[in-house]
Amino acid sequence: MQKLNAATAVTAMLAGLTLAAGASAAELKILSTGAVQPGLNAAAKIFFDKTGDLAKIAYDPATVLGKRVAGGEVADIIVSSPAVIAELTKTAKVLPEGQVPLGKVGVGVVVREGAPAPDIASTQALKKTLLDAEAVVYNTASSGAYVEDMLKKIGVFDEIQGKLVRLFDGNAVMRRLVEGKGKELGFGGITDILLNRDKGVRLVGPLPAETQNYTNYTAALIAISPNARSARAFMAYLASRDGRALFAANGISE
């Protein structure tokens, strides 16, 4: 018998789960970094509509997620940076088979809604904007670590150190900008910024190409998953053509 192609296999798996959903719908627990939130939320909704299985997603920075899974927290899927997934694979906390690369997210510049858009068209323009700013806000997660290195590489870190504001995660950065005033700007994952665009912030644009950085994200099945069958089906959907298109539409590129 001819082997099913990937799309047919996903359809068949989802159909099987749909038939069983009325009897015993699963409740998946997913631990994820916030950078993929728009795509993951959209995928979870479609998966629920197709199967009745509910995906409950808890968002945290990548390093925090790694510690939670390493500490034995019971969950089904983790979505994090490749480095965190690799370490958890090495310690057998997640399964090596079936891991799904979800894509990458670039860094963007954000200001509060209504504030003048600063010039970030080139590295030189970005440097002048940073020197003129009254506050520069970014997170302490993976994208924030890159931002700090970038500020050092373009030669402004020492000059603006007194006006740097470093917060826990992307949501905290957005809240700080909304509540701020004057010539303030922030950095964050482009998806984080887009997710908050109806809350009082706007995306100025991505970093200039010569300073841009992309963070990759991968999904893996946690070894002690209590809902492994449904979790595998959800990950198969993420890996499918439809799943990848959904993530790309939400700012997470391949």
Domain ranges of the chain: 6-104+216-249, 105-211
Half-sphere exposure at residue 7, Cβ-oriented, CA atoms within 13 angstroms? 4
Which fold is adopted by the domain 6-104+216-249? D-Maltodextrin-Binding Protein; domain 2 (3.40.190)
Query: Which pLDDT does position 28 carry in this prediction?
Result: 98
Half-sphere exposure at residue 176, Cβ-oriented, CA atoms within 13 angstroms? 22
Average of per-residue pLDDT values in the chain: 90
pLDDT band at 14 (very low <50, low <70, confident <90, very high): low
200-250 pLDDT tens trace = 999 999 999 999 999 899 999 999 999 999 999 999 999 999 999 999 988
Query: Which pLDDT does position 19 carry in this prediction?
Result: 41
17-55 pLDDT tens trace = 454 444 568 999 999 998 899 999 999 999 999 999 999
Same fold for the domain at 6-104+216-249 and the one at 105-211?
Answer: yes
Q: By C-alpha distance, which of 211, 208, 232 is closest to 221?
A: 232
Mean pLDDT computed over 157-171: 94
Query: Which pLDDT does position 228 carry in this prediction?
Result: 97
Locate 182 and state its tokens: 């004057």
Which of 3.40.190.10, 3.30.70.120, 3.40.50.720, 3.40.50.300 is the CATH number of 105-211? 3.40.190.10
pLDDT band at 169 (very low <50, low <70, confident <90, very high): confident
pLDDT at 72 over 80: yes
